[in-house]
């Protein structure tokens, strides 16, 4: 296993994140907008991972994002800063997925 670590560090990395967005009451999220915003930040939305819940007039979307080239993707911290400033989002979480 110790021989694999140097090789692994030279391979192009992919980063996967689980993103959870809680929208403000009565906000109407748009999946196409989320997909485009993710793409412009170096991520691809895995459409088959989308789950939507709704309670107390708030929609909660959970989706996985993958960065095909993590060197070109926005860091999770920078992504969090953008999410904190996004109008219509009342709560979010970003969790790295270990593969």
Flag whether 3 is in a domain: no
pLDDT score at 70: 84
Structural domain range at position 48:
14-97
Tell if the pTM clears 0.85, that is, is over it. Answer: no
Whether 9 is in a domain gets the answer no
Residue 82 lies in a domain: yes
Sheet of 44-55, strand order = 44-55, 58-67, 15-23, 89-97
Domain count of the fold of the chain: 1
Question: Looking at residue 25, what is its pLDDT?
Answer: 93
- Per DSSP, 85 falls in state T
Question: Is 81 among the domain residues?
Answer: yes
Whether 7 is covered by a domain: the verdict is no
How much of the chain exceeds pLDDT 90, in percent? 67
User: What CATH number has the domain bearing residue 65?
Assistant: 3.30.70.260
């Amino acid at each position: 296993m110790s021989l694999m670590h140097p090789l692994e560090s030279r391979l192009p990395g992919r980063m996967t994140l689980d993103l959870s967005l809680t929208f403000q009451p009565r906000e109407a999220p748009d999946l196409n907008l989320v997909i485009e915003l993710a793409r412009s930040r170096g991520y691809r939305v895995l459409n088959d991972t989308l789950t939507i819940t709704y309670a107390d007039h708030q929609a909660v979307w959970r989706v996985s994002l993958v960065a095909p080239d993590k060197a070109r993707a926005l860091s999770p911290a920078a992504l969090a800063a953008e999410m904190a400033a996004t109008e219509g989002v009342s709560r979010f979480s970003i969790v790295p997925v270990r593969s």
